[in-house]
Amino acid sequence: MQPRSPRALPAAVALAIAGASRVAAAGSMDPSPERLQRPYTDAELAAAGLPAELNGKGDVACQLVAAEPSRFVDGSGKPIALPCRPDAKSFANLAAEFGYAIAPPVLRGAHTYGQRAFELRFQTSIATINSDQSYWKLGTEGPRDEAKNQASVQNKDPSPVLAVYGVEARKGLPFGFETGAFFGWIGQTSLFVPGVSVRWVPKEGFRDDVLGLLPDVAFGAAFRTITGSSKLNVYTTALDVEFSKRITIASALEFTPYLALQRLIIAGRSGSLDLTPNVDANQQCGFTGYDSARNKVCTNNVNGFALVNDFNNSETYDTTVTHRTRTVGGIQLKRDHFVAAGEIAFDLFEPGSENGQLVGSRQATFALSAGASF
């Protein structure tokens, strides 16, 4: 797939709007990184002693062999072991795009309202993802196969966006500091998104004379993560510099356009994954415990060979770290206690230009917030 050019960003806006409208229609977007596996070639299957009927099925061969051990045996009648092979590159891409989707937006001007100020806002952000890539089709659950009462093999129609909904509270502190806390969730998933932030405004812009043209400047740091899944852990740290200028209209409405440059550091790792989720290793072998040498004791066998191969189909991905740089532009409006903001953020560079393992195109995020400031 060819990367999107900068001209494709307007198309990304339309994609996000269309994707948000079909959120309820798509299948589950809960992560399923256990399905991210490297396929076997026909030559590798033949070398393992497997029949030609599996040719062309290298992407699901290990699942088929694990499910029917009595069908795939060697010359001595022993079940053939064909361990599933995790795909670390696809996992890195899935984690990076999840991390981008939960990245904290700016949604405010580069100023504070003093150390006594308190603000509470409801917030929504919609991030585009590369849903046509295999790591989204295989790496998210999709609808359950009700006919077989099994987890689906893939999500045939992943949503083109991930939407985060939540509430954020901010409190002013002395010396131009401001701290905040966020809690939200990702639509179409069982994932929650907690986060914290801190911001420093060293000196707000001048108001009079020529110096009144200077903008306010702020420096921010924020952290968000996801909870609710033992399969995928993602941690996103955002560091940014913000510029804005307050414009007061009719002494009542405060209009603040702002720009920011944001650096994202995204870390992802997995828990222990069962690479054959539709096969219960304990049930298949008839596991009853361990012998004195700590070997598994199984009551089920094929031709006298214990069914233990599926115990090797578990894996934990090592931590993967990616870096992204994005630019942010938005507008904040304030009238009395009411405050609202809207912004767009997008990658400045193709993700793969800095992270060799990433293959997806640039992402964009569209965010809105509204609430009260006291």
Could you tell me the pLDDT band of residue 81, with boundaries at 50, 70 and 90? very high
> Are 170 and 180 in contact, with CB atoms under 8 Å apart?
yes
Containing H/E element for 320?
strand 320-335
151-172 pLDDT, tens digit each: 677 898 999 999 999 999 999 9
- 208 falls in which pLDDT band (50, 70, 90)? low
d(CA 259, CA 264): 16
Domain 6-34+88-272+316-373, CATH number (from 1.10.260, 2.60.40, 3.30.2010, 2.40.128): 2.40.128
Across the chain, what does the average pLDDT equal? 90
| pLDDT for residue 144 | 76
For residue 212, is pLDDT > 90? Answer: no
DSSP β-bridge partners for residue 234 = 268
pTM of the model: 0.87
- What pLDDT, in 10s, does the model give residues 339-355? 999 999 999 999 999 99
Examine the pLDDT at 25 and tell me if it is beyond 50. no
Is the pLDDT at 24 greater than 60? The verdict is: no
Whether pLDDT at 21 is above 70: no
- The whole-number pLDDT of residue 15 equals 47
Tally of CB atoms within 10 A around 98: 27
pLDDT in tens, 95-127: 999 999 999 999 999 988 888 899 999 999 999
CATH code 2.40.128 region(s) in the chain: 6-34+88-272+316-373
Q: Encoding tokens for residue 212?
A: 């009144």
Confidence of residue 8 (pLDDT cuts 50, 70, 90): very low
In the numeric block, which tokens belong to residue 34?
A: 């256990």
Burial class (CB in 10 A: 0-12, 13-18, 19+), 79: buried
Which ranges constitute the DSSP H helices of the chain? Answer: 9-21, 42-47, 61-67, 88-101, 134-139, 281-285, 351-354
- Whose structure tokens read 């440059």? 261
Residue 210 — very low, low, confident or very high, per pLDDT cuts 50/70/90? low
Q: Is the pLDDT of residue 18 over 70?
A: no
Please say if the pLDDT value at position 12 is more than 60.
no
| pLDDT tens-digit readout, 282-340 | 999 999 999 999 988 999 999 999 999 999 999 999 999 999 999 999 999 999 999 99
195 pLDDT higher than 90: yes
Using 50, 70 and 90 to split pLDDT, how confident is the model at 45? very high
Yes or no: say if 57 and 64 are a contact pair by the CB < 8 Å rule.
Answer: yes
pLDDT given at position 134: 95
